[in-house]
Every structure is written in structure tokens, then in C-alpha cells.
């Protein structure tokens, strides 16, 4: 564990990015680049659950703490994600308090939750530090719930105060879509929604996160008190780098017919 949850509790602002190519090579490259955390995306990413182990192994010797976004609050998926060594779990499209309760319950062992106990898994060093892992899991596993629907906005305080909910993560694309203002991050409706989410999290003693489209907005959201901030993805980095190089070479290429 790289102390992601503890660092948030100590008031740090941590920056990360998405990993959505499903590649251990790009995971390692990004992990070595200096990000505090990375999000391995099983909801929209190209990778499959079977690719996750290799990505986590590639990140092991980097400073980036691995968080995995699952497709739903199904406890079986969350159990396997944690057993393979994720430091945190992000659950998308939380709608109700019941959704939130199911998600965080799956992240923790009884009596706090319903996570199944398995000793010979990667998270416990295949049994070598099983006892310490189980004892410290509640203090180390980061529970992140995405707030990106109107229904979730109606239950902010109830969701935020649940035990096991550590971060309310704002999904700008889905939330602006739900508000009828897709992509308009400066719209008063979105600004108000962000402020409400941050206020609910602070009231409950929890953190807030957001995915940015523009890194120049980082200071604005940090000033609001948002601590877990992501921007960019491995796919974006590759696409932008490749596009920039191709454009540069096109400009330098001489027409062979002249």
C-alpha cells in the first residue's frame, strides 16, 4: 500500500490520471512519470479484468497508487479487484444510498462489510502478510463513489456520511449531461453542483475528487478544497504525442516531386 487514503486524510492534494488502454507497458510508463495515483478503468477502458494483474504488477515499483474503476457495485467484482491488489475502488453512477451502501460494504471484511476472505491472493502477499492486511484494510482501502446523476445529487448528505465512503468523485461529463449542459463546466448549474458536492463531503469529513479536461483548471478546483484531481489518460498522452510528431514531420517533409 502506498498510503493514498492516509495522505488524503492528512489534507494533501493528490494528482492522477486515467489508464484506459489496458496495457502494462503504458501503466508502467505513466506510473514512472510522477503521478500520485492512477485509475485503471474497467468501465470504459479497453482492458479486460484479466489485464488488471499485469498492470498492477507494472505499477508496483512506481510511486503511483493504483485505483480501479469497476463497472457496477457487484460485490464479486469488487472482491476480485481488491484481492488482486488495488489500493482503492471507484464505483460509477451511484444513484441511491442503497447503491452506496452496497459498494462500500463489498470493500470491507465483516463486521463492517461483506467482503469475502481469501488468504492466497496478491493483496496479502499470497499469505505472507495476511493478518496485517486484514487488520489494516479498513484504514488503507480507499472507497470512491462517483456523483454524476441527478438522483445522486438528491442524496448527497446521506451518501457522504456513510462509513466506508472516503471520496465523492465528480464525473463532469455525465453530470453535465444529466444537467442538460453537456461539457459546459463554467455553467452556473455545474458550478453549483460542484459546490454542493464539496460541501456535503466536507460536512461528513470526507474528500472530493474530479476529472479535469484542462490542467490549467487545477488551481481552481484545488482552491475549492478538492483533493483527488485527475487529468489526462494514457490514450490521450499517446494520441497527442503521436499527432504532434506526425504534424511536425509533415511540416518538415519536402515534396519529392519538386
Q: Pull the grid cell for residue 157.
A: 448528505
Q: Which of 90, 206, 199, 205 is nearest to 148 (CA)?
A: 90
Among the listed residues 44, 108, 129, 155, the single catalytic one is: 44
- Quickly tell me which residue has 484542462 as its cell: 214
Whether 108 sits among the annotated catalytic residues: the reply is no
Q: What is the DSSP letter of 143?
A: E
Contact 65, 2 (CB under 8 A): yes
What's the DSSP call for residue 2? -
Coil, helix or strand at residue 119 = coil
Radius of gyration of the chain (CA): 19
Catalytic residues: 44
Amino acid at each position: 500500500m502506498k498510503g493514498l487514503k492516509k495522505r488524503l486524510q492528512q489534507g494533501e492534494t493528490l494528482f492522477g490520471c486515467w489508464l484506459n488502454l489496458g496495457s502494462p507497458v503504458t501503466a508502467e510508463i505513466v506510473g514512472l512519470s510522477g503521478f500520485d495515483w492512477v485509475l485503471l478503468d474497467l468501465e470504459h477502458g479497453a482492458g479486460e479484468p484479466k489485464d488488471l494483474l499485469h498492470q498492477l504488477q507494472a505499477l508496483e515499483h512506481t510511486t503511483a497508487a493504483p485505483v480501479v474503476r469497476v463497472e457496477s457495485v457487484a460485490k464479486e467484482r469488487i472482491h476480485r479487484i481488491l484481492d488482486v491488489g488495488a489500493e482503492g475502488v471507484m464505483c460509477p453512477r451511484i444513484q441511491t444510498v442503497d447503491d452506496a451502501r452496497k459498494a462500500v460494504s463489498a470493500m470491507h471484511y465483516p463486521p463492517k462489510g461483506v467482503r469475502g476472505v481469501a488468504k492466497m491472493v496478491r493483496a496479502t502477499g499470497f499469505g505472507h502478510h495476511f493478518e496485517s492486511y486484514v487488520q489494516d484494510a479498513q484504514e488503507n482501502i480507499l472507497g470512491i463513489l462517483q456523483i454524476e446523476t441527478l438522483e445522486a445529487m438528491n442524496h448527497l448528505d446521506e451518501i457522504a456520511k456513510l462509513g466506508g465512503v472516503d471520496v465523492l468523485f465528480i464525473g463532469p461529463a455525465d453530470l453535465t449531461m444529466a444537467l442538460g449542459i453537456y461539457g459546459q463546466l463554467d455553467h452556473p448549474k455545474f458550478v453549483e453542483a460542484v459546490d454542493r458536492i464539496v460541501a456535503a463531503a466536507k460536512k461528513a469529513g470526507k474528500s472530493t475528487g474530479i476529472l479535469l479536461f484542462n490542467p490549467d483548471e487545477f488551481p481552481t478546483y484545488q482552491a475549492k478544497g478538492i483533493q483527488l484531481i485527475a487529468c489526462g489518460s494514457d490514450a490521450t498522452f499517446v494520441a497527442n504525442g503521436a499527432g504532434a510528431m506526425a504534424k511536425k514531420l509533415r511540416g518538415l517533409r519536402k515534396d519529392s516531386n519538386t
